[in-house]
């Protein structure tokens, strides 16, 4: 299903379109899961129009929490919720099976936790994020700092080059107080097996492959409108 021609829209406008389109997956009375990033920011802004109809949101980052609260949307602790009907989040890459790479915004650990609470993951993205095979985008991996060297060497054995993510001249520190490696040069043809394997390496907090927590729906902003993909 597509909405009318949007060929002249910018990437930012496409993000606004998919952010607004995601409102139809929000059920009145429910607590919803909210991701992180520029596309989700559009969703949060749209969600403000429904704030009196929902029971609240579980957030995946400090940044999203601040935005939700600023708009008057109640934010709940994930430990006070046993399940969520839906989790809405962006992606750095998504393939035709709903498998994703995430973590460009460094929020991958909390994103995976909140996604795991939800019955359904609705990914919102512009069409630049749709890929045949995951791995073009440098794979984010949240790590315990003392394991950086060994994990870098393990990725090198898989053909990947890991770089410590920096911010303002120092290693970026996540909301969880850890560091991020960005790994280039990987071709992730079996995302389920890859996620399972890398998640077990000592010192890996979270790998940015979302295969076990894949999307069930993707709302993709395209030149032809918002395309709904179901997996």
Contact stretch for ligand 5RP (CB under 6 A) within 66-74, 84-92, 178-186, 214-222: 84-92
Contact stretch for ligand 5RP (CB under 6 A) within 21-29, 30-38, 188-196, 222-230: 30-38
d(CA 126, CA 227): 10
Q: Between residues 104 and 135, which has the closer beta carbon with respect to ligand 5RP?
A: 104
Q: Is residue 104 a contact residue for ligand 5RP (CB under 6 A)?
A: yes
Q: What is the residue whose two structure tokens read 């998504």? A: 94
How many CB atoms within 10 Å of residue 69? 13
How many CB atoms within 10 Å of residue 78? 16
Which regions of the chain does DSSP assign to beta strands (E)? 31-34, 56-59, 75-76, 84-89, 93-94, 100-101, 118-126, 139-143, 161-164, 166-167, 170-171, 179-184, 204-207, 209-210, 217-222, 225-230
d(CA 106, CA 167): 11
Q: Is residue 102 a contact residue for ligand 5RP (CB under 6 A)?
A: yes
Q: Is residue 19 a contact residue for ligand 5RP (CB under 6 A)?
A: no
Q: Is residue 98 a contact residue for ligand 5RP (CB under 6 A)?
A: no
Q: Are 140 and 108 in contact (CB under 8 A)?
A: yes
Among 21, 44, 86, 106, contact with ligand 5RP (rule: CB under 6 A)? 106
Q: Report in angstroms how near the CB of residue 127 gets to ligand 5RP at its nearest.
A: 12
- Find the largest Cα–Cα distance for the chain: 52
Among 57, 58, 86, 91, contact with ligand 5RP (rule: CB under 6 A)? 91
Q: Is residue 37 a contact residue for ligand 5RP (CB under 6 A)?
A: yes
Q: Is residue 131 a contact residue for ligand 5RP (CB under 6 A)?
A: no
Q: Contact letters (x/-) for ligand 5RP, 38-67, by CB under 6 A?
A: xx----------------------------
User: By rule CB under 6 A, what count of residues binds ligand 5RP?
Assistant: 17
Which of the residues 93, 111, 142, 195 is marked catalytic? 111
DSSP codes of every residue in 26-40: PPTT-EEEE--SHHH
């Amino acid at each position: 299903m597509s909405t009318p021609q949007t060929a002249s829209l910018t990437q930012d406008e496409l993000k606004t379109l998919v952010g607004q389109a995601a409102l139809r997956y929000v059920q009145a009375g429910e607590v919803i899961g909210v991701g992180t990033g520029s596309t989700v920011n559009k969703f949060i802004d749209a969600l403000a129009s429904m704030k009196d109809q929902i029971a609240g949101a579980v957030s995946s980052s400090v940044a999203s929490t601040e935005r939700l609260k600023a708009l008057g949307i109640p934010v709940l602790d994930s430990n006070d919720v046993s399940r969520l009907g839906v989790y809405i989040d962006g992606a750095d890459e998504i393939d035709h099976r709903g498998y994703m790479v995430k973590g460009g915004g460094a929020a991958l650990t909390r994103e995976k936790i909140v996604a795991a609470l939800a019955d359904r993951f609705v990914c919102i993205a512009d069409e630049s994020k749709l890929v045949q095979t995951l791995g073009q985008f440098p794979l984010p991996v949240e790590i315990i700092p003392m394991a950086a060297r060994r994990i870098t060497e393990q990725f090198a054995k898989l053909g990947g080059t890991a770089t410590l993510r920096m911010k303002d001249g120092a290693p970026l520190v996540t909301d969880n107080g850890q560091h991020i490696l960005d790994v280039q040069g990987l071709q992730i043809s079996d995302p389920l097996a890859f996620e399972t394997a890398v998640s077990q390496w000592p010192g890996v907090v979270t790998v940015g492959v979302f295969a076990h927590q894949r999307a069930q729906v993707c709302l993709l902003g395209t030149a032809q409108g918002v395309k709904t993909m179901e997996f």
